[in-house]
């Protein structure tokens, strides 16, 4: 990434000099201000907000516009050098993203650096799995039992605050479980999600709370293989009786799981979920590639990494195809993109509706542009598997999970799939947590890190150049290992994560 500095003007950052048609201004620019590009100075033709794109050269109407060396959209009109490039003159249209490439034919993968750690300090469960946290969970089967579950958890959590090596009692509340047809895709997704949480390695014991008459009956969700006890509100005689019964059960469960000691565990037993939310123009320039380095280091150490948010690979799916370990993985990526085209069309939307108002205010114009920055979180390792929403992630290395782009829904699927660690990049300042899995927040700019210091865990703002991304990526990798070993994230310290479980709602509510 380069820019040129000249007197009386501003620096224009150009990610791929010689290939890109646009660059980025880092400060607000007034009309007429000299903007220094690799091809020489131009004058800003309008007021341009910080983080937004400026044309480096003349772009003809209907021509592809490139950033990161890739197409981010099609020019709606002739765009002169120095013009602000955004929604008024950049859109989407038919365009081939490049030649088809056969999966598995790329140069053998080499990690960007050697992992600096080989273990974390975690809890070894009796079944052999490794946890980064030690919770008891109260899980409602239906929205109707969510308040009672919360009452139990809040009282119990206050009662056992400060117990060594015990992270507390949490309620995994959600707003589904009834009013949906059994056997449908939405019903299957909900049951798979709740089962994934009930079996999550960071949850030592689960207490289920049912109303009694809901469609989502506990035996249909969990089956005999999931160790959970159910309290039925209607059977027990109401709210107070159920809360009291729940507290009695938790008294016994805390005695069983408290006092466990952390021990050294290989990094191969970590599963890291990758999220980005509240993205801005710097997401693809600093935080996401820096997280990609950390993800590659975990893969090199034998761990698992989960990339998701299918609408946010649209326009960059060709990059994942090239990294597919098998033809089947490549085909699955294509099938997901086709399904999402149909899904959005059936619901009166399109994939380019994804960039939010905040994304666009931060300088992102199209979903292609957003996706090209978003996939960088996944690093450079081969793509070994593709799984459905909330499906268990078992393959080593990089897996893609089919999730929506909405962060709470996507993170919920990854946690249900087994992620015992989350990393979340943000450019606008998302606040988020996802108990029972700790979540590390990574800022795209130092300005955001300083402005929201109480929420941000790691500043990737200085990591503009590749050598800086490598250095900061190693530091981020070590910070993630520290969090896996018990260092609290800021979202955990603030209490985030009790309300953010959002299973993917799909299908008719009847």
Give residue limits of the domains in the chain. 10-91, 135-257, 265-494
User: Per CATH, is 10-91 categorized as 2.40.10.10?
Assistant: no
**How far apart are alpha carbons 508 and 187 in whole angstroms?**
10
Q: What is the pLDDT of residue 224?
A: 66
CA angle in degrees (0–180, nearest 5) for 432-280-296: 70
Look at strands 383-387 and 421-426 and give their pairing: unpaired
Give 107's DSSP letter. P
Per-residue confidence at 5, pLDDT binned at 50, 70, 90? very low
Whether residue 263 has pLDDT greater than 60: yes
Whether residue 6 has pLDDT greater than 50: no
Per-residue confidence at 2, pLDDT binned at 50, 70, 90? very low
Per-residue confidence at 3, pLDDT binned at 50, 70, 90? very low
Read off the pLDDT of each residue in 59-75 and give the average, rounded to a whole number. Answer: 95
Contact status, residue 510 vs residue 181, Cβ threshold 8 Å: yes
Per-residue confidence at 310, pLDDT binned at 50, 70, 90? very high
Look at strands 22-25 and 53-55 and give their pairing: antiparallel
- How do residues 491-500 score in pLDDT, each as one tens digit? 999 999 877 7
Question: Residue 41 to residues 29, 37, 57, 292: CA-CA distances in angstroms?
Answer: 14, 6, 11, 33
Which residue, among 313, 351, 331, 337, has the nearest Cα to 92 in the 3D structure?
Answer: 351
Distance of CA 30 to the CA centre of its chain: 35
Among the four given CATH numbers 2.60.120, 3.30.1380, 3.40.50, 1.10.730, the one describing domain 135-257 = 3.40.50
**How far apart are alpha carbons 449 and 426 in whole angstroms?**
10
Question: Residue 28 to residues 47, 49, 282, 365, 465: CA-CA distances in angstroms?
Answer: 8, 5, 15, 17, 22
- How do residues 136-165 score in pLDDT, each as one tens digit? 999 999 999 999 999 999 999 999 998 999
Identify the three-state secondary structure at position 466.
helix
Query: Would you say the C-alpha torsion 410, 466, 22, 18 has a positive or negative sign?
Result: negative
> Helix, strand, coil % (nearest 5) of the chain?
35, 20, 45
Contact status, residue 240 vs residue 219, Cβ threshold 8 Å: no
Write down the mean pLDDT value for the chain. 92
Whether residue 192 has pLDDT greater than 80: yes
User: Both tokens of residue 494?
Assistant: 């603030």
Peptide bond into 165 cis (omega under 30): no
Q: What is the pLDDT of residue 225?
A: 66
Q: What is the pLDDT of residue 305?
A: 98
Contact status, residue 144 vs residue 238, Cβ threshold 8 Å: no
Residue for token digits 């939307």?
349
Query: What's the pTM?
Result: 0.94
């Amino acid at each position: 990434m380069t820019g040129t500095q000249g007197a009386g003007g501003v620096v224009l950052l150009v990610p791929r000099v010689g290939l890109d048609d646009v660059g980025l201004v880092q400060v607000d620019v007034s009309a007429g201000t000299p903007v220094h590009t690799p091809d020489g100075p131009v004058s800003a033709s309008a007021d341009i907000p910080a983080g937004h794109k400026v044309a480096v050269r003349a772009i003809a109407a209907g021509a592809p516009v490139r950033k990161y060396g890739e197409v981010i959209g099609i020019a709606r009109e002739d765009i002169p050098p120095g013009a602000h490039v955004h929604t008024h003159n950049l859109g989407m249209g038919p365009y081939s993203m490049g030649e088809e490439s056969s999966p598995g034919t790329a140069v053998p993968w080499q990690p960007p650096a050697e992992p600096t750690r080989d273990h974390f300090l975690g809890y070894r469960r009796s079944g052999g799995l490794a946890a980064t946290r030690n919770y008891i969970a109260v899980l409602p089967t239906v929205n109707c039992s969510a308040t009672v579950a919360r009452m139990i958890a809040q009282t119990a959590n206050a009662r056992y605050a400060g117990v060594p090596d015990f992270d507390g009692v949490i309620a995994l509340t959600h707003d589904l479980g009834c009013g949906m047809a059994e056997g449908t895709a939405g019903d299957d997704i909900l049951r798979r999600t709740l089962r994934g949480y009930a079996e999550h390695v960071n949850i030592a014991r689960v207490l289920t709370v049912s109303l009694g008459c809901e469609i989502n009956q506990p035996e249909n969700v969990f089956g005999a293989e999931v160790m959970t006890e159910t309290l039925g509100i209607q059977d027990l005689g109401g709210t107070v009786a159920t809360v009291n019964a729940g507290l009695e059960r938790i008294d016994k469960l805390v005695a069983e799981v408290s006092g466990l000691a952390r021990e050294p565990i290989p990094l191969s037993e970590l599963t890291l979920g990758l999220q980005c939310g509240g993205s801005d123009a710097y997401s693809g320039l600093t935080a996401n590639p820096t997280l990609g380095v950390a993800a590659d280091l975990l893969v090199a150490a034998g761990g698992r990494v989960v990339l998701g948010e299918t609408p946010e690979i649209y326009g960059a799916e060709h990059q994942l195809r090239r990294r597919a370990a098998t033809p089947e993985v490549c085909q699955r990526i294509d099938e997901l993109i086709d399904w999402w085209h149909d899904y959005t069309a059936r619901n009166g939307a399109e994939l380019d509706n994804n960039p939010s108002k905040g994304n666009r205010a931060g300088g992102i114009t199209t979903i292609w542009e957003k996706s090209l920055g978003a996939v960088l979180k996944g690093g450079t390792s081969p793509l070994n598997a593709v799984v459905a929403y909330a499906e268990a992630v078992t393959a080593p290395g990089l897996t893609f999970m089919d999730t929506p782009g909405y962060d709470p829904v996507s993170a919920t699927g990854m946690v249900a799939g087994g992620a015992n660690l989350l990393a979340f990049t943000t450019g606008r300042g998302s606040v988020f947590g996802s108990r029972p899995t700790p979540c590390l927040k990574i800022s795209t700019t130092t300005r955001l890190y300083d402005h929201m210091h109480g929420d941000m865990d790691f500043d990737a703002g200085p990591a503009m150049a590749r050598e800086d991304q490598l250095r900061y990526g190693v530091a981020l990798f070590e910070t993630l290992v520290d969090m896996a070993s018990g260092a609290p994230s800021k979202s955990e310290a603030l209490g985030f994560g009790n309300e953010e479980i959002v299973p993917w709602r799909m299908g008719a509510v009847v």
